[in-house]
Structure 1
Amino acid sequence: MDAIQDTSLLTRAALLAALTPAQPGGDASVAAGRIQLFPAGAFAARDGRPGNLKGVSAKEWRLTPEDAEALLARWRQRATPVVIDYEHQTHLSRQNGQPAPAAGWITALEATPEGLFASVEWTDKARAHIRAGEYRFISPTFSFDRHSGAVLELHSAALTNNPALDGMSAAQAKTHTQEDKHMDKLLALLRTLLGLPDTADEAQCAEALSLLSASVSGETTQTAAASRHLPQQNLIALLQSKDAALTTAQAELACAKAAPPDPGKYVAMTTFQAVQQEAAQLRAKLADMEGAAAVAALSGEIEAALKDGRLAASAKPWADGLAKSNPDILREFLKSTPPVAALKGTQTGGKEPDSTPGTASLTAEEEYARAQLGLTAEEYAKHKEAV
């Protein structure tokens, strides 16, 4: 790649870009303790650079993953760390004769999908400026390819309040560890509980806790008396009300355990089981009674059917069981069954058994079956022999 190099200040200023992100410090989207030097992809300054620079055909600067890797390779070859100054004074010192003190030193570079980031070791003075909000932005100076716009090498960076590029992260005063994040969450919780504003720092939270402790322990010192006017008294009242409610609930629970259960609301398990068993027995007895009543109600019809030949004597137990389980079906059967004369009264209808040679006497069941089939005695006998 073709990087333009010129020792004159004006030409150098045309080729070295001073970019500054436009967001305030403390952006949670970027890990604390890092600064963003370049965004990823194509970007340009608000004043039109690099498209308005003489001798430059590129309309935008560019930082692709390949560009970033090449820049990191050049960075690793450096023995001297890259300085962060104030307002690019490192490059203006020869012109204005003013000193160019360092605000910090870049200790590491990292390429991410969002752009190029750096870890910084700040001076105490620079850290104080950043914490006080006196400086908020980072501006890198770098060389680039005048045709493609690819960023080639990082030369320095500066703290400034005049950003040229919007949308990047801002300077952080210190590196936030995981422990610092836990402390931030704890401070936020303490501010809420103590009724302090969101701007209260660790010292203010500690002072409020001290006053709260004095109030709870019943001290009568001037500090404890002054604490009665602080918002944390709301917390004390809340805690006391919760304690009272808990004491009341515990007392009610103890009384409930000591007192016997209300018989109007509760029943012993043994009593409940005994009632269940008794109810089952009563249901069984009721079923038997209903079955006996059904048999008794149909007994007259069963006897009449036995007499007129609608039922064989051997079918009586079946008729008695059906009368108990389903009396309606038995009634329908007796109504639809025609009488069999041979089954009336006795098996022979009150006559002596037939002794005619060649004629076989039929039993009551056989006579019933013969009548149902509509066969004569001789036909039934022949059918029986054939079977």
Structure 2
Amino acid sequence: MNTTLHYHTALPGLDNGKVPDWVHLLPAGEFSGVDGRGPYWVSDARALITHSMQAEGGKLPIDENHATDHALVSGGPAPAVGWIVELQARADGIWGRVDWTKSGRTMVADHAYRGISPAFAAPDGVVTRIARASLTNAPNLKINTLHTTQKEPAMLPLEDVLKALGLPATTTKEQVIARLKEMKGCMTMHSQLAPLAGLDADATPEALVTGLRAKLTDVSTHSQQQIEALTGQIAELKKAGALTASTHAVEQAARTKVISDETKADLIALHTTNPQAAERIISGLQDVPSSGLNLNTRKVPTAGSGSAELAAMDDAFGTTEDEVKKWEASNARR
């Protein structure tokens, strides 16, 4: 991978005689040097900033005319005149906050140099690391110079910040940080809840509340419908079970009580809703007649079953067989 550092300097601008706290290091978008080198561009500003600060231990040196890089080849002194202690991505590119040394501040205030020249790695044109920067009078990049009116980040007065956070003027730094963490948590929750409501992550709180309420209403309605359906099914099962039990009870009662088919149907219907009442009615019904009755009719003796005894009795009374038949015929006519 090509790790060659590219040295570029800012073009001159308007002189305001001020030593800047922030210096412009890279322009936004695709850019090239006046000498034709390029094009270059930043594809991920956050990754670039993180990599640059970590690679250089959190401090990027500023020297004179790339003395550090020349010293790596031929030796010689390369003192830092300042240290970039913070990088920031803005609308017009990458900026660095500088902690100037005494000599560096003097040189910039004395207008000894007019431009800043970043040294950066850009394999295949993509800027992946800012290594350092230099004071120079040979600019190459079209960026703000040391003596250009700086585009400092807009800073809100502290009282406006506290008011926006809903905090009193007596709020401490720790309380402000705690509120910001709380707000960050709310933002994270917002971004996670938005998809559940079928909304984009940047949906307004009002839209989010409306969407979630609609979802909950749908779920509640669906759940209620399911509950009602299950309740109906349970009722039907109970009804079927009660009908089966009532039918069995009445059928059992019909074995000992005289119950017509019509009455049986009525008793089954009543038993499903009021078993006690049905049982009382059944208990008052007529019992089924017993089959063990005595039939008072004369039994005609069969051969071999007492005929000898009857003949003996007839002989004892002097009764002939013809007389017996006449007597039976006479009784039959009565």
TM-score by length of 2: 0.41
- Which entry has the higher C-alpha Rg, 1 or 2? 2
TM-score by length of 1: 0.36
Relative contact order (C-alpha < 8 Å, sep 6+): which is higher? 2
